[in-house]
Chain A
Amino acid sequence: MAKRAAPEVNAGSMADIAFLLLIFFLVTTTIEKDKGLLRSLPPIDDTEYEPPIIKQKNLFTVLINRNNQLLVEDELMELEDLRQATIDFLDNGGDTNPAGQPCDYCQGKGLDTSSDHPEKAIISMKHNRETSYEKYMDVQNELVAAYNFLREREAARLYKQYYPNADKVFTAMLEEKEKNQFSKDEVLNERIETIKKLFPMKLSEAEPDKS
């Protein structure tokens, strides 16, 4: 028998097959990138203790009713005004913190009727069961935005020299932390904690009434 060389397989259609697969995966792929608002819930605490007395002026009440209307500090308010109102409240700095120091970084008006110090200022939010989730999220977003605005401002004041090109210094710091998550940068972590401590997020949510 004559030994014949095996005929070469034509690979010309290989690209077509690969393209077919590629297009299939392209179409079915959804690169999901979930983002959202991170929030910590209070743990259930059964121990009985006297709740601390909070002065009315340190409390910023936000109520949402079943018709999605906002009642902020007993006044009807539009959603667009909520962010500025919250900033004004947190940044007021009318008095001292629990340790007795005045708020030397606050730029608010220092009114007697508004919060003493960012460390004392508490936002209390309550909604009705019938409130729509969309409105609820809008309000949450505005409240977080107020905190972020103030934190950005303080970060720019304290650490701008380390991030001269950054538009938002606090965001840049958090991004850097995210990037170096496997090599802990103590200095950076400390700076972030400092900023967070200047405006600690104190957002309390009351349970809606059972109706």
Chain B
Amino acid sequence: MSKFRKKDKGGLPAISTASLPDIVFMLLFFFMVATVMRDSSLMIENQLPSADQVEKLKKDRTVFIYGGKPSSQYSQFGSEPRIQFNDAFIGVNDVKPSVLQAISELNEELQSMVVIGLKVDKDTNAGLVSDIKQELRKANALKIMYIANVKTEQ
């Protein structure tokens, strides 16, 4: 009988955690690579409008223009909607030179395919947007994209 008695080893053997750091590092590297640090901090309120007929934006050939009311910590700029480009407020007349500057900094083969991404707050009046569009026409940057949140269809 005693020949067949199970040996009392006591519990499961410990799982080796030696490869845990490797797994975690793998995840870490993934997130490090996938992370995009915001290159300009927003000085305006930016609640995007929503739409459901949207297309994807190709990031590598995009120049962003922001628009909206200055947010609360920048209230010294007034409450009228302003245009933000990179890190500064610009006037309507500065849109064309700024955009041309930004386009010239792009990759050469992408310069002809540039898309202007308009991130405009939904409470802005549309007159500001048409002012920007006028300037973009003058700058001959004709492809624009109204960036929007994706509305889920009911």
Name A's B-contacting residues (CB within 8 A). Answer: 11-12, 14-15, 18-19, 21-22, 25-26, 28-44, 64, 127-138, 140-141, 144-145, 148, 178, 205, 207-208
Contact = CB atoms under 8 A, between A and B. Distances in A.
Contacts of B71: none
Contact of B59 (A34, A127, A178, A205): A34
B49 A130 contact: no
Interface stretch (B72-80, B83-91, B125-133): B125-133
A39 B145 contact: yes
A43 B140 contact: yes
A130 B127 contact: yes
Given A37-B148, A40-B142, A29 B35 contact: yes
B2 interface: no
A43 B122 contact: no
A148 B55 CA distance: 12
B112 to A, nearest CB: 14
Interface of B: 17-18, 20-21, 24-25, 27-28, 31-32, 34-38, 49-57, 59, 62, 115, 117-118, 120-130, 133-134, 136-138, 140, 142-148, 150
B95 to A, nearest CB: 13
Contact of B57 (A26, A35, A136): A35
Given A18-B24, A43-B137, A134-B49, A37 B55 contact: yes
Contacts of B134: 207
A37 B127 contact: no
Contact of B130 (A21, A32, A140, A208): A208
A18 B125 CA distance: 48
Given A44-B137, A133-B123, 12 more contacts: A11-B18, A12-B17, A15-B17, A31-B36, A34-B62, A34-B145, A35-B148, A36-B51, A39-B146, A133-B49, A137-B122, A205-B130
